[in-house]
Structure 1
C-alpha cells in the first residue's frame, strides 16, 4: 500500500502541474473540473480520503497532507476502479496475452505486428 500511496502522490504532483499549465492558457474555459485519478487499491483510497493521519508511517505524512490538500482544493478526485477494468493494469503486472491485448485495445493502442502472408 505504501508504494501505491507514493505513486498516488507523484500522480497528484503531475496533475497539479498540468492544471496550472491549463490555467495559463487564456482560451481554455474556466473553471476546470478536478483531474480524475483512478486507483484499484481500497487501502490507498481510504488513506487518501482519511481526515486524520495516524503517524505510523512517518515518511508518508508529507504525502498524505499534500494529497489531502489537492482533494480539498478540487485539483484532483480519486476514484476506485476494479483491477479487471483498469486499463493500465497490463503495464504493471504480468498478464495473459489476451488480457494485454484487451487492455491495449481499450487504450486505443495498435499492434505493430505485420500480418504474415
Structure 2
C-alpha cells in the first residue's frame, strides 16, 4: 500500500501542475476545476479520502499526504479503477497478451515497427490533432 500511495501522491502533483498549466493558458472554453485520479488499490484509495485512516499509515511522510489535501480542497477526485481497465498498467506491468493488446488499442498506441506511407502518417497526425482539441 505504501508504494501505491506514494505513487498516487506523485501522480497528484503532476496532475495539479498540468491542471494549473492548462488553466494558465486561458484557452477560451477550457477550464479544469477537478482532476480525476484513478486508483486500483483500495487501501491507497481509502487513505486519500479518509484522514482518520492513519493507524497503519503513521510512517508515511507528510509530503505524501499532498493528494489527501487536494481531495479535501475538491481539486482532485480519486476514483476506483478496476485493474483490467487501468491504462497505466500497460507501461508498468507484464500483462497477458490479450490485456496488453486491449490497453494498447484503447490508448491508441501503434508499434511504429512498419513503414508507413506519407498519406497515412498525415492522416494519423490529423486524427491526433482533432482528438486532442475535441472538447
**RMSD of Structure 2 on Structure 1 (CA):** 2.1
How far off is 1:103 after superposition? Answer: 0.7
Provide TM-score, normalisation by structure 2. Answer: 0.73
Match of 1:86 in 2: 86
- Whole-angstrom CA distance in 1 between matches of 2:70 and 2:28: 21
Between 1 and 2, higher relative CO (CA 8 Å, sep ≥ 6) is seen in: 1
Match of 1:45 in 2: 45
Q: Secondary structure at the match of 2:36?
A: strand
1:105 and 2:105 correspond: yes
Q: Is the 8 A contact 1:15 1:75 kept in 2?
A: no
- Whole-angstrom CA distance in 2 between matches of 1:54 and 1:96: 36
Provide TM-score, normalisation by structure 1. Answer: 0.82
What count of residue pairs does the alignment treat as equivalent? Answer: 114
Q: Which runs of 5+ in 2 are unaligned?
A: 116-135
Which structure 1 residue ranges, 4+ long, deviate > 6 Å from structure 2? none
How far off is 1:20 after superposition? Answer: 1.8
